[in-house]
Amino acid sequence: MYKDKLVEGIKIKVIGDSIAAGGGSSMSYRTEELIFEDDGTKYFKKVAPNSWWGLLEKYLRDNYNASTIENKGCGGAFSSQINKHLDTLISSEDNMVFILMGLNDRKLTNGMEELKINCECVIDKLVNKGKIVVILTPTPSVHSNEYYPNRIYHTDNVVSILRGVADNREILLIDNYQFVMEYLKKNRLKIDNIIYGEGCGNDGLHPSDHVQKLIFQNLIQTLQI
Burial class (CB in 10 A: 0-12, 13-18, 19+), 95: middle
For residue range 213-222, list pLDDT tens digits in order.
Answer: 999 999 999 9
Task: Give the model's pLDDT for residue 135.
Answer: 98
- Answer whether residue 120 shows pLDDT above 70: yes
Please provide the size of the chain in residues: 225
Domains of the chain by residue range: 3-223
Per-residue pLDDT band for 1 (boundaries 50, 70, 90) equals low
Architecture of 3-223 per CATH?
Answer: 3-Layer(aba) Sandwich (3.40)
Q: Quote the distance between the C-alpha of residue 24 and its chain's center.
A: 12
Per-residue pLDDT tens digits for 66-119: 578 999 999 999 999 999 999 999 999 999 999 999 999 999 999 999 999 999
